[in-house]
Amino acid sequence: MASGPVIEVHIGDIVKIDADAIVNAANERLAPGGGVCGAIFRAAGAGLAEECQALGGGPTGEARITGGYNLPARWIVHAVGPVWHGGGEGEAELLSGCYRNALAIASDYRMNSIAFPAISTGIFGYPPERAAKVAVAACREHMKTHEFPRRILLVAFDVKQAEPLKAALTAS
């Protein structure tokens, strides 16, 4: 067993992951959307949309927490990712903020495990290789100064989506 926190790449469906929390690649309204966001809302059930509506949304780069409802995860952390505009509009810092803020919530709640999708790489158009590097860097930075979460899962839906995550994780 590892002595400190670990980052792992996991291939599978994020809504089926048994972790303390899963991260939703959210929009600013924290409303049901497409892709991972839509799948999470469908799997969690109607209560999630009601709780998100009561939160009133969140700005890009920030994160909010709700219950997990019908998911195996106890919590859902909603991280609002940036839309890709070519990389010159602060997208990397905003994406890093998604990971940092979600991990700060996980630390505050003393969660042992949290699972992230590849935030912003779907309809928001962020290049997967660049997004993976940002994700891994933010996770590693968090782990230097925090005990929790002890296990960070970077979840890819399939082998092709896992490749950039694995490459970023093995890079020095």
What tens digit of pLDDT does each residue of 88-114 get?
Answer: 999 999 999 999 999 999 999 999 999
Give the confidence band of 3 by pLDDT, cuts at 50, 70, 90. Answer: low
Which residues lie closer than 8 Å to 102 by C-beta, 6 or more apart? 23, 63, 77, 79, 114, 116
The share of the chain scoring above pLDDT 90, in percent, equals: 95
Residue 5 has a pLDDT of: 83
Three-class SS of residue 87? coil
Cβ atoms 107, 143 nearer than 8 A? no
Cβ atoms 134, 95 nearer than 8 A? yes
Tell me which amino acid residue 30 is.
L
* CA distances, 89 to each of 119, 126, 134 (Å): 17, 12, 15
Which residues lie closer than 8 Å to 29 by C-beta, 6 or more apart? 57
11-58 pLDDT tens trace: 999 999 999 999 999 999 999 998 999 999 999 999 999 999 999 999
Superfamily name with CATH number, domain 9-170? Leucine Aminopeptidase, subunit E, domain 1 (3.40.220.10)
